[in-house]
Amino acid sequence: MSALLGSLRSAVGAAHVLTEGDLSAWEQDWRRRWRGKALAVVRPGSTAEVAAVVKACAAAGVAIVPQGGNTGLVGGGVPDGSGTQVLLSLQRMDRVRAIDEANLTLTAEAGCVLQRVQQAAAEQGLLFPLSLAAEGSCTLGGNLATNAGGTQVLRWGNARELCLGLEVVTAQGEVWEGLSGLRKDNTGYDLRDLFIGSEGTLGIITAATMKLAPLPAATTTALAACATVADCVALLKLARARLGAGLTGFEMMGRYALQLTARHFPALPRPLPQAEWTVLLEHSDIENEAHAREAFEGLLGAALEAGTVQDAVVAESLAQSQALWHVRESIPLAQAQEGPNIKHDISVPVSAIPAFVEETDAALLGRFPGVQLVNFGHLGDGNLHYNVQAPAGEDSRHFLAEQEHAVNALVFDAVARHGGSFSAEHGIGLLKREELAARKSPVALQLMRGIKAAFDPQGLLNPGRVL
């Protein structure tokens, strides 16, 4: 091992091979759910250095755990406890390499923080639409390795849909120069999309070329109160038909979820306190503020008249818009104040959401009386964070320890019956590996194992993740 450490120090410089002191920033995930011990934390500063690190590890038969901003939720980016794995942090590779205005593309390195990518685009008067709660610390490479979702997927798709090309270091330490600003390129198999979402198990993403878009002239936000989930789905249909691509956000929040934000963040606005379901709509308009408001008011007027919506408010200013989004984004923090709960990141077809929620709510309440459902999420994408909290008065840690498996089985079985996914945007990592093995079709698993064996025959890239 000391020979390997020597090679790593020559590859990246001794200052960037950390083996002593408090390495918990890299060895532990931010929610402190997993804690490992690395042989070394290695911080290369260039693609060539990443390649040299991978070659040295491959020669020594040592496993590599790639890491971006360490904001993952499924334990995909921390080393195991053996002290034998190299933690490869991409954080020093944080340059925006190029912005091509006429081509509407941006090329940045994997360690570039998402917010920095957004800012670099905005400085050119352009939009990089990927947006999620961790954007102040998560990195572009991590976003791509996990195919991150977030709040703008309805209009712009996941990280995958925003990516045109990648630069990747393979398990052999070769560099695939797949950066591309092309919208069309049908020359062989789609390696790009295979690396995207593979959670560092097939190669190490070192840079990417991403799509940009013109900045909208105005963005408006509204809240609408709906009596049922079916009404929320009907409102989505109406909003799509009237606003088209201008509909950039459609988030649904259950009453209990908003009661929690009101309890723990009393300073936040709560304009529709009686609503059973509250929908946050965002409209991004290419023309101007007046046109944006007109379109929004037309939509909400029609929805009120049809009875789809019981009440609605439109933000009067940018500050009000931000406050409404802040309510939505505070739900995870508010529920954390109530103690640990059982989190789900599931998706079903939008058409199946009303039946899924009704059936699964009833089944959970029948089997676990008094259980509290914190249901919110990206309704426009069919993606719900359908979280389950211990019954009032019951110790939440005890409830989790006793019931998490049974709750998960009930929820994931319901998801499967409705043609859904047990991991919509958070990925597999360590947390959902057993679910993947149990729930994915054997044909798919066999194809995936074939790809892993072809790309990483030594099994050194992020072992124990995904497969």
Separation between Cα atoms, residue 118 and residue 129, nearest integer Å: 7
Q: Hey, which residues between 267 and 296 contact a copy of itself (CB under 8 A)?
A: 286-287, 295
Tokens representing 297 are 């008011």
Nearest distance in Å: CB 266, a copy of itself: 33
Cβ proximity to a copy of itself: between 287 and 289 the closer is: 287
Segment interacting with a copy of itself, rule: CB under 8 A, options 310-318, 324-332, 380-388, 392-400:
380-388
Segment interacting with a copy of itself, rule: CB under 8 A, options 24-32, 57-65, 158-166, 318-326:
158-166
Q: Residue from 38, 140, 162, 202 that binds a copy of itself (CB under 8 A)?
A: 202
Residue by residue, DSSP assigns 4-23 as HHHHHHHHH-GGGEE-SS--
Q: Which residues contact 199 (CB under 8 A, 6 or more apart)?
A: 76, 145, 146, 427, 428, 429, 462, 465, 466
Question: Phi/psi zone of residue 188: left (φ > 0), alpha (ψ -120 to 50 degrees), beta?
Answer: left
How would you class 451 by CB atoms within 10 Å of its CB: exposed for 0-12, middle for 13-18, buried for 19 or more?
middle
Q: Is 226 in the site for a copy of itself (CB under 8 A)?
A: no
Tokens representing 314 are 């439109």
305 SS3 class? helix
Tokens representing 344 are 């789900």
Segment interacting with a copy of itself, rule: CB under 8 A, options 20-28, 52-60, 79-87, 156-164:
156-164
Separation between Cα atoms, residue 133 and residue 219, nearest integer Å: 19
Cβ proximity to a copy of itself: between 237 and 263 the closer is: 237
DSSP at 113: B
Q: Hey, which residues between 108 and 147 contact a copy of itself (CB under 8 A)?
A: 146-147
Q: Is 231 in the site for a copy of itself (CB under 8 A)?
A: no
Q: Which residues contact 301 (CB under 8 A, 6 or more apart)?
A: none
In order of 30, 42, 322, 421, the CA distances from 291 in angstroms are: 43, 52, 20, 38
Q: Is 436 in the site for a copy of itself (CB under 8 A)?
A: yes
Q: Residue from 170, 335, 375, 462 that binds a copy of itself (CB under 8 A)?
A: 170
Separation between Cα atoms, residue 390 and residue 385, nearest integer Å: 16
Q: Is 233 in the site for a copy of itself (CB under 8 A)?
A: yes
**Token pair 């921390």 in the structure block, residue:** 78
Q: Is 59 in the site for a copy of itself (CB under 8 A)?
A: no
Q: Is 78 in the site for a copy of itself (CB under 8 A)?
A: no
Q: Hey, which residues between 305 and 334 contact a copy of itself (CB under 8 A)?
A: none
Nearest distance in Å: CB 463, a copy of itself: 16
Segment interacting with a copy of itself, rule: CB under 8 A, options 181-189, 301-309, 358-366, 389-397:
181-189
* 130 close to 114: Cβ distance less than 8 angstroms: yes
Rg (CA), the chain: 23
Cβ proximity to a copy of itself: between 368 and 455 the closer is: 455
Separation between Cα atoms, residue 226 and residue 224, nearest integer Å: 6
Q: Residue from 5, 342, 431, 466 that binds a copy of itself (CB under 8 A)?
A: 466
Cβ proximity to a copy of itself: between 323 and 355 the closer is: 355
Q: In this structure, what are the phi and psi dihedrals at residue 165, rounded to the nearest 5 degrees?
A: -160, 155
Q: Is 244 in the site for a copy of itself (CB under 8 A)?
A: yes
Segment interacting with a copy of itself, rule: CB under 8 A, options 265-273, 319-327, 341-349, 360-368:
341-349
Q: Is 72 in the site for a copy of itself (CB under 8 A)?
A: no
Nearest distance in Å: CB 287, a copy of itself: 8
Q: Residue from 67, 131, 143, 198 that binds a copy of itself (CB under 8 A)?
A: 198
Nearest distance in Å: CB 332, a copy of itself: 17
Cβ proximity to a copy of itself: between 24 and 351 the closer is: 351
172 SS3 class? coil
* 400 close to 342: Cβ distance less than 8 angstroms: yes
Total residues binding a copy of itself (CB under 8 A): 94
Segment interacting with a copy of itself, rule: CB under 8 A, options 9-17, 83-91, 133-141, 446-454:
446-454
Q: Hey, which residues between 396 and 415 contact a copy of itself (CB under 8 A)?
A: none
Q: Residue from 206, 347, 387, 403 that binds a copy of itself (CB under 8 A)?
A: 347
Separation between Cα atoms, residue 355 and residue 348, nearest integer Å: 10
Q: Residue from 31, 82, 119, 174 that binds a copy of itself (CB under 8 A)?
A: 174
* 359 close to 414: Cβ distance less than 8 angstroms: yes
